[in-house]
Chains A and B, each alone.
Chain A
Amino acid sequence: MSARNRIFEKLRQAMRPASAEALPDVRDADVYRDYPSDPASLFELFKTRLEELRGEVYRVGDEVAASDKVVELADSVGGSVMVQPGEPMASLLPGLAERLCDRLVDAAAVADSADFARVEVGVTAADFLIARTGSVLLRTISSGGRRLSVLPPFHIVVARASQMVPSLEEALNGLKGLSPDWSYAALITGPSRTADIEKILVLGAHGPKRLAVVVVDAA
């Protein structure tokens, strides 16, 4: 008998009937403290939460302003920038490539992880912004793979205001509704951090030292 079968055998023998009572259908709102749900306060809540964690949040009126913002942010650190190829970035950030010129690293040219060492800024989209926790939820296929959002020291997320949801519960429900051909999703809440030495907070332990979220208003 294989280990698998033996373990299953032991599990089955250990089973006792589950309680007949159905699990209570508890919604997020029953467990957590109240949070507002109108769009304006959602953005404010998101901004407050993420800024508490030393993330940066910018709200811009349209795509052109979004490009401006990304260039400005990239300028603030200098170095090379890698933008997630294809849509939705092309329409979210019109003309970005021309404005960054030779600072732009072609994603196709960065094959192995060592090449990433020269990328200072990673720019990606996201699937959801979560107001109550100040989090960003993204999947590999919506945000340029596993590495782009974690290897470069500065991660810029560009998302539309309509992607904002109030709570983690809604974001996870939303994730279930998206196309399932992804292998990896990350729920990101602030820049990388550690408090392993004397419980003192340090940013940029291994992941990005800076995280900026640019929220584009126009639909």
Chain B
Amino acid sequence: MQEPRAFLQRAAAKTRDEEHRLKILKAIDTYTRVVEQRKHTQFRDWRQARQLAARIKDDVLARLPELLQQFEERITARGARVFWAETAAEARQYILDLVARRQARVVVKSKSMTTEEIGLNEALQHAGVDVWESDLGELIVQVAGEKPYHIVTPAMHKNREDVARLFHEKLGAPLTQDVEQLTMIAREHLRHAYVSAEIGITGANFILAEEGAIVMTENEGNGRLTMACPPVHVVLVGLEKVLPSMRELALFLPLLATSGTGQQITCYNSIVRGPRQPGEPDGPEEMHIILLDNGRTELLAQPEFQHVLRCIRCGACLNACPVYRTIGGHTYNTPYQGPIGSVITPHLRGFRQWYHLPFASSLCGACSDVCPVNIDLHHLLLWNRHRAVEREHTAAPGWRLAMKLWAWGMRRRKRIALLRPWLRLGTKLLLPLLPGAQRRRVPSMAEHSFARLWRDHERQKSHF
């Protein structure tokens, strides 16, 4: 089935799933409460903070070649290898080659949406490698055989009963509804993965040009273990994630933590400048950094869209989105869901299959309101719709013709009057036939136009 139609079907099913809605609303309500509070307790002026962050990122985007080169030079000088991947396939191949060279059988991963973007897990499994997701949320969806539901909270749609059943059935763990015990099951389950893995793969939240470093932010410690134990550390990161220097972390770490989870700062932030150095007791022998383009330079080349590369993947726009909350993360069927996903996916994966995403929005602007780097998401959604129409990818057949008629009719008062009776009849007969009409109240057109009512009103007045 075509993706746009499949999307509609999934959306319709999820929208009617009340259990799903309760789980999501519960999680997002908790999130919203702590985040809104944190913005006030942490920042003097949240708006000022995010404007500053936006300016810093814009400055970075205007200097990307220079900053990336600086990063490359400095981290290479300490023995790391930098690989530039133009496409997802190149990035996958690089990792597969590395796996073959190191004869790796076990790979441990910490949460990274960029690896989802390139479909890394499937490629590794296909090559016969044992892949362990180590973030608790990621582990849950991996064990369930699903994809992440949310870029920050991958298992948001699972409650403790779901997880208990999963761990019992798939991991052979004793059945327990205690969240702490469930977490400990995951902890024990993964301990030997860190120890036995030949390669650890992580993403990165920031690239620091001046220090030649990558920065990874997390709460569980699985990322730190992934970078500490295996002899090879691979970092896959989008090339837009640059900051000029460590100094900017003083703003971006609290900003990301506040928007991501409502924390002042996340529990662990790692700054990594290379593999193990002389004089250090441990750390990987090899470090590889894959800088991924995969459509990012094309976004950069379009003035309307380049601001979207400010994104720090905090997930706030997903949580704020009434459409996301209703149709759920899986309906999107993309590594990046919600408003940010609907903005970038058609560009990264092509409009042909993904043009429908920007239409799944009420354009209410809640996403733009919460974005910590001030991305004008809902306008970008509108731009995407524009693109989709321009390229003649639209949902309903005859839509363009109908729109043209509409435009013709609306331009003259007389034409409106002329079309009115037909429109009235048309909406009465046709609207109830639209999908979903049985579950909604179909609006009806007023019996008389305002112009006519006014005329009558004036006439009556003159009778007195």
Contact status A172-B84, CB under 8 Å: no
A190 CA / B126 CA spacing, docked (Å): 39
B267 touches which of A49, A114, A182, A188 (Cβ 8 Å): A188
Size bracket of the B interface? 35 or more
A184 CA / B233 CA spacing, docked (Å): 12
Contact status A192-B267, CB under 8 Å: yes
Q: Judge whether B246 is part of the interface by a CB distance below 8 angstroms.
A: yes
Given contacts A23-B59, A183-B78, A185-B270, contact A196 B282 (CB under 8 A): no
A179 CA / B65 CA spacing, docked (Å): 28
Contact status A33-B155, CB under 8 Å: no
Given contacts A7-B86, A117-B191, A205-B136, contact A24 B65 (CB under 8 A): no
Q: Judge whether B293 is part of the interface by a CB distance below 8 angstroms.
A: yes
Given contacts A183-B273, A189-B267, A192-B220, contact A147 B282 (CB under 8 A): yes
Contact status A197-B183, CB under 8 Å: yes
Q: Please name all residues of chain B whose beta carbon is closer than 8 Å to the beta carbon of A91 when the two chains form the complex.
A: none
A32 CA / B163 CA spacing, docked (Å): 39
Partner-B contacts on A (CB < 8 A): 2-4, 6-8, 10-19, 23-24, 26, 28, 30-34, 49, 53, 107, 112-114, 117, 133, 135, 140-141, 144-148, 150-151, 167-169, 172-173, 175-176, 181-200, 202, 204-208
Most chain B CB within a 10 A radius of its CB, from A14, A18, A184, A195: A184
Q: Please name all residues of chain B whose beta carbon is closer than 8 Å to the beta carbon of A144 when the two chains form the complex.
A: 281
Q: Please name all residues of chain A whose beta carbon is closer than 8 Å to the beta carbon of B221 when the two chains form the complex.
A: 150, 192, 205-208
Q: Judge whether B424 is part of the interface by a CB distance below 8 angstroms.
A: no
Contact status B300-A186, CB under 8 Å: no
Contact status B183-A194, CB under 8 Å: yes
Contact status A150-B224, CB under 8 Å: yes
Q: Please name all residues of chain B whose beta carbon is closer than 8 Å to the beta carbon of A53 when the two chains form the complex.
A: 267
Binds A, one of B24-32, B376-384, B425-433: B24-32
Q: Please name all residues of chain A whose beta carbon is closer than 8 Å to the beta carbon of B265 when the two chains form the complex.
A: 133, 135, 168, 187, 189
A31 touches which of B27, B65, B251, B266 (Cβ 8 Å): B251
Nearest-neighbour CB distance to chain B for A59, whole angstroms, equals: 22
Contact status B301-A168, CB under 8 Å: no
A7 CA / B82 CA spacing, docked (Å): 13
Known: A144-B281, A145-B283, A189-B264. 8 other contacts (CB 8 A): A18-B63, A31-B43, A32-B43, A140-B277, A183-B273, A186-B269, A205-B219, A206-B187
Most chain A CB within a 10 A radius of its CB, from B41, B135, B137, B194: B194
Q: Please name all residues of chain A whose beta carbon is closer than 8 Å to the beta carbon of B227 when the two chains form the complex.
A: 146, 184
- Beta-carbon contacts of B205-233 to A below 8 Å, as 1s and 0s? 00000010000000111101101110000
Interface residue ranges of B273-323 to A (CB < 8 Å): 273-283, 291, 293, 297-298, 300-301, 303, 306
Name which residue of chain A comes closest to B220, CB basis.
Answer: A205
Interface residue ranges of B218-269 to A (CB < 8 Å): 219-222, 224-225, 227-229, 239, 246-247, 249-251, 253-254, 261, 264-269
A31 CA / B55 CA spacing, docked (Å): 14
CB-based A-B contact count at 8 angstroms: 250
Q: Judge whether B64 is part of the interface by a CB distance below 8 angstroms.
A: yes
Contact status A151-B281, CB under 8 Å: no
A187 touches which of B154, B261, B268 (Cβ 8 Å): B268
A202 CA / B184 CA spacing, docked (Å): 9
Name which residue of chain B comes closest to A190, CB basis.
Answer: B267
Given contacts A133-B265, A204-B187, A206-B222, contact A172 B303 (CB under 8 A): no
Contact status B219-A172, CB under 8 Å: no
Nearest-neighbour CB distance to chain A for B161, whole angstroms, equals: 10
Q: Please name all residues of chain A whose beta carbon is closer than 8 Å to the beta carbon of B334 when the two chains form the complex.
A: none
Contact status A146-B301, CB under 8 Å: no
Partner-A contacts on B (CB < 8 A): 26-27, 30-31, 41-45, 48-49, 52, 55-56, 58-59, 62-65, 68, 78, 84-86, 90, 134-137, 140, 153-155, 158-160, 163, 179-180, 182-184, 186-187, 190-191, 194-195, 211, 219-222, 224-225, 227-229, 239, 246-247, 249-251, 253-254, 261, 264-283, 291, 293, 297-298, 300-301, 303, 306
A72 CA / B68 CA spacing, docked (Å): 49
Name which residue of chain A comes closest to B273, CB basis.
Answer: A183
Contact status B306-A14, CB under 8 Å: yes
Given contacts A16-B62, A33-B44, A186-B268, contact A23 B55 (CB under 8 A): yes
Nearest-neighbour CB distance to chain B for A111, whole angstroms, equals: 9
Q: Please name all residues of chain B whose beta carbon is closer than 8 Å to the beta carbon of A207 when the two chains form the complex.
A: 220-222, 224-225, 267-268
Contact status A172-B249, CB under 8 Å: yes
Given contacts A183-B283, A207-B220, A207-B221, contact A146 B228 (CB under 8 A): yes
Name which residue of chain A comes closest to B75, CB basis.
Answer: A183
Instruction: Give 12 A-B contacts (CB < 8 Å), ordered by A residue.
Output: A3-B85, A11-B64, A146-B280, A182-B277, A182-B280, A183-B272, A184-B228, A187-B269, A190-B267, A192-B219, A196-B140, A197-B179
Q: Please name all residues of chain B whose beta carbon is closer than 8 Å to the beta carbon of A34 when the two chains form the complex.
A: 44
Given contacts A199-B30, A206-B225, contact A184 B270 (CB under 8 A): yes
Most chain A CB within a 10 A radius of its CB, from B26, B153, B297: B297
A3 CA / B294 CA spacing, docked (Å): 11
A181 CA / B283 CA spacing, docked (Å): 14
Name which residue of chain B comes closest to A144, CB basis.
Answer: B281
Contact status A193-B220, CB under 8 Å: yes
Q: Please name all residues of chain A whose beta carbon is closer than 8 Å to the beta carbon of B306 when the two chains form the complex.
A: 14
Nearest-neighbour CB distance to chain B for A42, whole angstroms, equals: 16
Given contacts A107-B281, A183-B280, A198-B160, contact A13 B59 (CB under 8 A): no
Given contacts A18-B59, A18-B62, contact A168 B254 (CB under 8 A): yes
Q: Please name all residues of chain B whose beta carbon is closer than 8 Å to the beta carbon of A205 when the two chains form the complex.
A: 136, 183, 186-187, 219-222
